[in-house]
Amino acid sequence: MLVDLKITQYLEKAAAGTAVPGGGSVAALNAALAAALTEMVARLTIGKKDYETAERDMQAIADQASLLRQKLTAAIDADADAYSRVMAAFKLPRGSAEQKALRSREIQQATKQAARVPLEVARRALAVLELAGRAVKQGNKNAASDGAVAAMNARTAVLAAIFNVRINLASIKDDEFTAELSREINRLEKQTREEETEILSAVAI
């Protein structure tokens, strides 16, 4: 499991010249880090003088960020597993017509899953970005820069995950599936860019 590796071990695997972990897994890691920082900002606000009115919202942010962090951490391996399934499908035999048909179906199914996983990462990373924005605007001002870093990591995670969705969509022959996912990732990208601009403009450094 990638998530059980030490940071240095994960970095070594990412640098090793093998297919996994790749960009999708790293996108999930970035999103999980963003969630962790968002949670930190919220917890640094709870119980602090001058932030009593924000305490309930900060607790909600901390709870939601914690749940997202867990799900995004799981996606670090889920993305690698999805890519490995695609590679396994390409290695299926194709000596007969039946084998070719089976191989083609497996490739298509695996590629669809390889698109779904980063799509879910993008959705969750955007949710983290929105939480980071609330934490920056209402939370402990001494941790505003941490909230800004969370927002930037979340933004990177969304766009990186979207890029991975697009790469997979290019190989999928189901037009309805590709059109549906394309519409969603376009919406996610637009919303992410707007959200990040608004959040960073609120950080006075």
For residues 112 and 172, is the Cβ–Cβ distance under 8 A?
Answer: yes
Distance CA 81, CA 138 (A): 38
Q: What is the mean pLDDT of residues 169-181?
A: 97
| Residue 4 is assigned to a structural domain of this protein | no
Give me the CATH number covering residue 173.
Answer: 1.20.120.680
Tell me what pLDDT residue 31 has. 98
Tell me what pLDDT residue 64 has. 98
Confidence of residue 145 (pLDDT cuts 50, 70, 90): very high
| Residue 14 is assigned to a structural domain of this protein | no
Query: How many distinct structural domains can be found in the chain?
Result: 1
Tell me what pLDDT residue 200 has. 85
| Residue 2 is assigned to a structural domain of this protein | no
| Residue 113 is assigned to a structural domain of this protein | yes
Percent of the chain exceeding pLDDT 70 equals 99
| Residue 168 is assigned to a structural domain of this protein | yes
Omega before 93 within 30 of 0, i.e. cis: no
| Residue 9 is assigned to a structural domain of this protein | no
Distance CA 113, CA 35 (A): 24
Determine the straight-line distance between the first and last CA of the chain, rounded to whole angstroms. 39
For the chain, what is the total number of helices (H) and then of strands (E)?
A: 6, 0
Identify which of 158, 149, 150, 153 has the alpha carbon closest to the alpha carbon of residue 124.
158
Task: Answer whether residue 178 shows pLDDT above 80.
Answer: yes
Task: Answer whether residue 123 shows pLDDT above 90.
Answer: yes
Q: Which residues have a Cβ under 8 Å from the Cβ of 15 and sit 6 or more positions away?
A: none
Confidence of residue 19 (pLDDT cuts 50, 70, 90): confident
Tell me what pLDDT residue 185 has. 98
For 87-114, what is each residue's pLDDT tens digit?
Answer: 999 999 999 999 999 999 999 999 999 9
Task: Answer whether residue 72 shows pLDDT above 90.
Answer: yes
Distance CA 55, CA 1 (A): 37
Tell me what pLDDT residue 204 has. 62
Domain extent, residue 95, equals: 21-201
Q: Which residues have a Cβ under 8 Å from the Cβ of 197 and sit 6 or more positions away?
A: none
Start-end of H helices in 47-143: 55-90, 97-138
Confidence of residue 47 (pLDDT cuts 50, 70, 90): very high
Q: pTM of the full predicted structure?
A: 0.94
Tell me what pLDDT residue 59 has. 97
Q: Which residues have a Cβ under 8 Å from the Cβ of 45 and sit 6 or more positions away?
A: 51, 54, 55, 58, 135, 138, 139, 140, 143
| Residue 188 is assigned to a structural domain of this protein | yes
Tell me what pLDDT residue 203 has. 77
Q: What is the mean pLDDT of residues 20-48?
A: 96
| Residue 11 is assigned to a structural domain of this protein | no
